[in-house]
Chain A
């Protein structure tokens, strides 16, 4: 779909709906503390915008004999109820007003594209209809939550009116308005019942962004190094090792996809790449299990470390052509830009080898806070005696203590194996790609781009402007 919107990167309809979804969810937390009549005026704006958007979606995507009548009833109710509150000197609730604006913007975006004016009988594919139905269900769910929030606000207002006679100045009491909103909430629920959230699976997904994986690798690299160099604990070590296991596993599946796509020699995979990656994943797994048992109950890793690991694994999954939730199984090699992906995977293995070095340093030099009881239990069999390796007071109070000397050597052994296996797997991967011309990245910067891609890239750079920090040629990870 092309749109003449002059704004660079205008949000898609899906993004706008997600924005509206976040707004109403946040409102449901605050609704009890807001004025009910303001919410009602805002709700009218939201329904108005939703109706506008509803009408530009393909009609065939609606539930036959059900959808339009629900939206019409909501729209008529909004108009009637607005008449009851329009003379009240209250402001329009800003959150619901913004929801209405977001809906209207989405409707405008579809209208400008001209797709809703097409009349040819086969103008909609099944996938497009599923996408539009997902949008309808999401719109109705947003209205459902918004209606509930408005009823919550009105209940507070009704309570205040019940307690203070001076507030009973309105023609229609808040209690009556609340009852009507609860009925409308049920009406909205009748549309989404049985369809939410299942229908959202039909939502259209954008093809993967080729810069997502390099940028996810760089982000993970930064947060892992930050966590390992700044007061690492057993929880941090566990998360880093666990993340590495999952990343190595993903990488192995992607290399296997390259074999299936005929980009990598099967023997080379079976004899070099596969065993190398398995050894690396195994070493990381041993490290993960070792530190997992030493985690203190109060110890939690930094949030951005977890998020970065999740972003990387999800990015790898997406770029392989099988995003979570996608219905059809992937056909190996069909939609994957292998030279780009191979370059990303090389970078990933280099990053893993670098992280292994930092992991090893942390086990040698950092205090590494661990659970005192677990450390005591783990160290005693190795020491051969019954004497405690941490103080009785620390054990009694279940404190987090620095990694005892008795366990330090075992930790460094585990980390040493991680370093050796990660570097060995990097060597096998580099050697394999060196001998696979179909996977070789282009040697010169930018020259692998065709004329059209170069033009697109230059327009993107121009739009991004100098504030983005110099020229990005779009190759390799941005570090």
Chain B
């Protein structure tokens, strides 16, 4: 019987993970910039949440796609919460069981982050 933990990841799902990683990376940079420049007390927890999400998604990206993670966008003044919201919306483009085990935790954390910091 096929086990949920040993499913093979489709290239489309891997591509979504790479894009989610990119958005979360930028969200982390934007939140860090807010910590440094704007002195917003809520920016530090937001930056830490985004940074944690980046690490969790990194663990899910298959080795064949790690090369694509080299594209790491800098802060340009975007809203980090909006970027997390976009990343969460991206994960809705395919059923959660197409992603590796551990994705549901990432999705829940993204929803919590958007809820807590909106």
A pairs with B = yes
A349 at the interface (CB under 8 A from B): no
* Cβ < 8 Å to B, chain A residues 237-266: 239, 242-243, 245-247, 249-250, 253
Residues of A within 8 A of B97 (CB): 28-29
Could you say which of A57-65, A103-111, A296-304, A415-423 contacts chain B? A296-304
Given contacts A30-B4, A33-B1, A297-B66, A309 and B115 within 8 Å (CB-CB): no
Could you say which of A86-94, A310-318, A405-413 contacts chain B? A310-318
The 8 A CB mask of B1-16 against A (1 = contact, 0 = none) is 1111000000000000
- C-alpha spacing A307/B51, complex, angstroms: 10
Give the nearest-CB partner of B5 in chain A: A29
* B: contact size bracket: 35 or more
- C-alpha spacing A200/B115, complex, angstroms: 9
B44 touches A250 (CB 8 A): yes
B45 at the interface (CB under 8 A from A): yes
Which of B3, B41, B48, B101 interacts with A322 by CB under 8 Å?
B41
- C-alpha spacing A300/B36, complex, angstroms: 24
A297 touches B69 (CB 8 A): yes
A309 touches B48 (CB 8 A): yes
Residues of B within 8 A of A449 (CB): none
Give the nearest-CB partner of B103 in chain A: A29
A324 at the interface (CB under 8 A from B): yes
B67 touches A313 (CB 8 A): no
A242 touches B51 (CB 8 A): yes
A211 at the interface (CB under 8 A from B): no
> Which secondary structure dominates chain A's binding surface?
helix
B116 touches A325 (CB 8 A): yes
Number of residues of chain A lying within 8 A (CB) of chain B: 34
A10 at the interface (CB under 8 A from B): no
B4 touches A306 (CB 8 A): no
A324 touches B116 (CB 8 A): yes
Given contacts A29-B4, A297-B70, A246 and B116 within 8 Å (CB-CB): no
B115 touches A246 (CB 8 A): no
Which of A198, A249, A298 interacts with B35 by CB under 8 Å?
A249
Residues of A within 8 A of B36 (CB): 245, 285
A245 touches B35 (CB 8 A): yes
A197 at the interface (CB under 8 A from B): yes
Question: Shortest beta-carbon distance, A45 to chain B, in Å?
Answer: 23
Question: Shortest beta-carbon distance, A117 to chain B, in Å?
Answer: 34
B35 touches A306 (CB 8 A): no
Residues of B within 8 A of A301 (CB): 55
Given contacts A245-B35, A250-B44, A300 and B52 within 8 Å (CB-CB): no
A201 at the interface (CB under 8 A from B): yes
Residues of B within 8 A of A317 (CB): 42, 44-45
A interface, CB within 8 angstroms of B: 25, 28-30, 33, 197-198, 200-201, 239, 242-243, 245-247, 249-250, 253, 285, 297-298, 300-301, 303, 306-307, 309-310, 313-314, 317, 322, 324-325
Q: List 28 A-B contacts (CB under 8 A).
A: A25-B104, A28-B96, A29-B4, A33-B1, A33-B3, A198-B115, A201-B115, A239-B55, A247-B44, A249-B39, A249-B44, A250-B41, A250-B45, A285-B36, A297-B66, A297-B70, A300-B59, A303-B56, A306-B51, A307-B52, A309-B52, A310-B48, A310-B52, A313-B45, A313-B48, A322-B42, A324-B42, A324-B117
Lowest 4 A-B CB distances belong to which pairs? A324-B116, A325-B116, A246-B44, A313-B48
